[in-house]
Amino acid sequence: MQNAAAIAVQGAPPAAPRAAGERWRLIWRNAFPFLVVGAIWEALAWSGVFPRQLFPRLEDVAQSFVRLTISGILPHHTIDTLIRLLSGFGLAAVVGIAIGVLMGRSRRAEDICLPLVSILAPIPGLAYTPLFLLWFGPGQFSAMLLVAFVSMFPVIYNSWTGVKAVKEIWLRSAQSMGADTARMFRHVILPGAMPYILTGLRLGLAQAWRILVAVEMLAAVPWGLGWLIFGAREFLDTGAMMAGVTVIAVIGLILEKYVFQKLEAYTVVRWGMLGSM
């Protein structure tokens, strides 16, 4: 178990290689698994075990990707999906933080909201989808509302926990130094709860992203990556489907790498709860 111990002590693979050779080795190391998987895929596709319409070759996928990008269809789908994600999540962030902080600060608000939140939160957001579609009609508005509704709960829950986790002694010392309610909130409670709120936002955004694709398939929106994949199925256009999945993966990867991990670096890792990656 020497190896595990060594990694645990290091906590992370060696960071930021200086020499150019090492840099190339790092790139090669990250690219290698994809090459292997790609080669297996190609081999299967060329072997003819599966029909080409169902199991497209990578060239077909690349071709659809280029075709859809040049004709502007893929960017349009992508932008619509992103707008929906941001508007829904923005709504969830504002409402969620407000409710969560209120619940953390006021005993009365907590008593009233907590039962309702704990009843609604464990139900998968997708289960509401057909109901929302009946009530608000198919389309843009339902999709945004659903994304907001689903991603709201982690935000509420973590804001609430965060405000409650602010150390009693900070509150008392701020109070004894004469802080009024507004200052106390602005300078003690909000910074103290911020790490939790950030975690809540991260979880909420991840949830919103996961739900959005499914909502787009069900909610009959005119544009959107989920709809692109779902619509392409009707025409057995697996190339377009794979192209859509690729864009979804890239956006997800960007969200993961540049948004979630940044947020996490600010919170969990900075406090030394978990070694950085």
Partner 1 sequence: MDEQRRRSIVRGALAIAGAAALYEGVSYSGLFAPVLLPNIQTVGRTLYGMLADGTMFEHAGATLFRVLLGFALATSVGVPLGILMVRFKPVENFFLPLVSALMPIPSFSLVPLFMLWFGIGNTTTVLVVLYGATFPILFNTWSGVRAVNPLWLRAAGSMGADERKLFWKVILPGALPFIITGMRQGFLRAWIAVVGAEMIAASDWGLGWVIFDAEQFLQADVMIASIVVIGLIGFVFERLVFGSIERATVQRWGMVRIAKG
Which residues 43-62 are close enough to bind partner 1 by CB under 8 A? Answer: 54-55
Q: How far apart are CA 225 and CA 76, in angstroms?
A: 9
Q: With respect to partner 1, which residue has the nearer C-beta, 2 or 176?
A: 2
Provide the b/e sequence for 216-244 (b: ≥16 CB within 10 Å): bbbbebebbbbbbbbbbeeeebbbbbbbb
> How are the residues of the chain apportioned to helix, strand and coil, as percentages rounded to the nearest 5?
80, 0, 20
What's CA 226's distance to the chain center, in Å?
15
Residues within window 85-114 making contact with partner 1, judged by CB under 8 A: 107-108, 110-114
Q: Which one of 39-47, 64-72, 140-148, 198-206 is the stretch in contact with partner 1 (CB under 8 A)?
A: 198-206
Q: With respect to partner 1, which residue has the nearer C-beta, 104 or 244?
A: 244
Q: With respect to partner 1, which residue has the nearer C-beta, 39 or 249?
A: 249
Interface pick for partner 1 out of 21, 48, 72, 124 (rule CB under 8 A): 124
Q: How far apart are CA 247 and CA 102, in angstroms?
A: 38
Cα-based torsion angle of the residue sequence 239, 241, 242, 243 in order, rounded to the nearest 10 degrees: 80
Q: Minimum CB separation from partner 1 for residue 217, in Å?
A: 6
Nearest-CA neighbor of 69 among 243, 235, 227, 228? 243
Q: Which one of 69-77, 82-90, 182-190, 195-203 is the stretch in contact with partner 1 (CB under 8 A)?
A: 195-203
User: Helix count (H) and strand count (E) of the chain?
Assistant: 13, 0
Per rule CB under 8 A, is residue 142 in the interface with partner 1?
no
Per rule CB under 8 A, is residue 193 in the interface with partner 1?
no
Q: Which one of 1-9, 57-65, 93-101, 166-174 is the stretch in contact with partner 1 (CB under 8 A)?
A: 1-9
Interface pick for partner 1 out of 88, 96, 104, 125 (rule CB under 8 A): 125
Interface pick for partner 1 out of 46, 135, 141, 258 (rule CB under 8 A): 135
Provide the b/e sequence for 80-115 (b: ≥16 CB within 10 Å): bbeebbebbbebbbeebbebbbbbbbeeebbeebee
Q: How many residues bind partner 1 (CB under 8 A)?
A: 82
Per rule CB under 8 A, is residue 37 in the interface with partner 1?
yes
Q: With respect to partner 1, which residue has the nearer C-beta, 70 or 123?
A: 123
Per rule CB under 8 A, is residue 116 in the interface with partner 1?
yes
